[in-house]
Chain A
Amino acid sequence: MSTKSVFSYINDMRSDLNRMEAKGFVDRSFMAKIDSLGSELTKMKQYWAEQKAVSVGSAFIFYSGMHNAELVLSRMRDRFNKAHEAKDNPGVACDSLLVMPIISEVFQKAARAAEEKERLSPFLPTEMLKLVSTLRTTARQVSLLPTLDEEVKRTDKNLLKETAMELDKKFVASNLLNDV
């Protein structure tokens, strides 16, 4: 899908959600659309993990944006899957409507950054950071954010252990206030 197609796809999904909310009925076929969007986010996430034309720090921020959007979509999919049994009908559609515009903006910023690359505006990573924070806060308020434990479970344990130990050494050895 081209970047433009992804935006129109997200808009279609928002229209579907509006319809579901109005009818008070959740359509389970929406899960296929979540999967399609999810795979576009994964591609964009992969792009940022491999991208070497910008600093590692900037690439990581856009990667993190995609990662968080993916997390929210995975929780959304789980809820759509269980909506009927869990009597989450049309609650999940209403909740999803609140996060979809933010996911769209997260993708838009990551796509713009991918176009700019070497000419990347220094404000764009900062804007993305704020957006990630907004996405997480909103998603958590409407139960569309997996718990931290669930997030940890998906990760390579050995690498996580290694990373945690290195970060611990760094945080003990350095005083962050000098970096602020």
Chain B
Amino acid sequence: MSLPISLTTSKVFLDTCVVVSASVYGSYQDLGIQVEHRFYTKTVPLFAIVKKYGDKHVGIITSTIENQSIAAIAKAVTDALEEKAAQILDSESRAKLFESHTVFFDQCLAHLQENLSILQREPVSQTEKDQYYPDVAIMYNNLRNTAQRLNINQLINANVTYRYRQTIRHEVYEQYKKRYRQLLKLKNEPVEESDKMILCEAICLLNYYRKTVNPDMKLYLASTDYHFSPSNSHGEVTEQIRKQFQVICHWPDEIALALKSDGFT
């Protein structure tokens, strides 16, 4: 029986944070403890689909994502270790501390390897990525300028009648803050170069699949990063990425739902 056509028209590119969230957990049944990254559960439905449809190579990564994931997991564990090691002076306790952390680190590495084994690693040439970089950089600069011009007090003054302004200002202020969370995040935390490169890779992959597999190919970018995915409200950044580059960014659990609608039941 042939599979529905939609199964060959959707791919998911996984951002480093998603691969890391899916790998950072540990279960110690003897000790009755479970350690879990805060976004681990959001990654479970997406990985279930990727695994189920392994032969369709629906989940994709690049070497950038793979290398960043190992480094991010190491950093998470060593940051925790550094805090603790600073309080310890004797060699024996320090050695024990290293040992207990390395067991958890090994466990995360094992999960990472398991997760990577079901993802398709695609090559993306640096030259091709560089072609898209100016467009991506300009888009983020423009959005940042919009974010810097964003003045919530002015919005309140323009949209709320004077009579109610003082009484509901705090409430409305919070609503606007939520509404523009993605832009405000961009204002306070400019997007990193490595994130821009990940978006360039996503654009290269979408073009490659549209040329070689299916001209109607949909590419999702699964991320827990506000520089790509929306927060609880509207996402100006997400919307702009979709409009300009046709890459659909969202949280991993939301992408799992979208894939179900695309036929990945």
**A-side interface residues toward B, CB under 8 Å?**
46, 48-50, 55-57, 59-61, 63-64, 67-68, 71, 126, 129-130, 132-133, 136-137, 140, 148, 151-152, 155-157, 159-168, 170-180
State in angstroms the CA–CA spacing of A152 and B110 once bound together. Answer: 13
Q: Please pick, from B28, B34, B81, B96, the residue contacting A60 in the complex, using a CB distance under 8 A.
A: B81
User: What is the minimal beta-carbon distance from B26 to any residue of chain A, in angstroms?
Assistant: 6
Find out whether the CB atom of B95 lies under 8 angstroms from the CB atom of A148.
no
Find out whether the CB atom of B31 lies under 8 angstroms from the CB atom of A133.
no
- Chain B residues, Cβ within 8 Å of A132: 109
Find out whether the CB atom of B94 lies under 8 angstroms from the CB atom of A64.
no
Residue in A closest to B33 when the chains form the complex, CB atoms = A164
**Number of A-B residue pairs having CB atoms within 8 Å of each other in the complex:** 154
State in angstroms the CA–CA spacing of A130 and B67 once bound together. Answer: 8
Using A56-B82, A166-B80, A171-B38 as known contacts, say yes or no to A180 and B31 having CB atoms under 8 A apart.
Answer: no
Find out whether the CB atom of B77 lies under 8 angstroms from the CB atom of A167.
yes
State in angstroms the CA–CA spacing of A49 and B223 once bound together. Answer: 35
- Chain B residues, Cβ within 8 Å of A67: 99, 102, 106
Find out whether the CB atom of A168 lies under 8 angstroms from the CB atom of B102.
no
Q: Please pick, from B26, B81, B95, B103, the residue contacting A56 in the complex, using a CB distance under 8 A.
A: B81
Find out whether the CB atom of B21 lies under 8 angstroms from the CB atom of A50.
no
Main secondary structure of the interface of A (DSSP, over half): helix
In the A-B complex, list the 4 residue pairs whose CB atoms are closest, starting with the nearest.
A57-B78, A177-B17, A49-B95, A163-B100
B48 interface residue (CB < 8 Å to A): no
Using A49-B98, A180-B194 as known contacts, say yes or no to A166 and B84 having CB atoms under 8 A apart.
Answer: yes
Find out whether the CB atom of B24 lies under 8 angstroms from the CB atom of A159.
no
Tally of chain B residues near chain A (CB < 8 A): 58
- Chain A residues, Cβ within 8 Å of B91: 49-50
Q: Please pick, from A50, A61, A137, A180, the residue contacting B78 in the complex, using a CB distance under 8 A.
A: A61
- Chain B residues, Cβ within 8 Å of A167: 26, 35, 77, 80, 104
Using A46-B95, A159-B96, A177-B224 as known contacts, say yes or no to A164 and B78 having CB atoms under 8 A apart.
Answer: no
Residue in A closest to B66 when the chains form the complex, CB atoms = A133
Give the residues from 63 to 89 in chain B that come closer than 8 angstroms, CB to CB, to chain A.
67-68, 70-72, 74-82, 84-86
Residue in A closest to B226 when the chains form the complex, CB atoms = A177
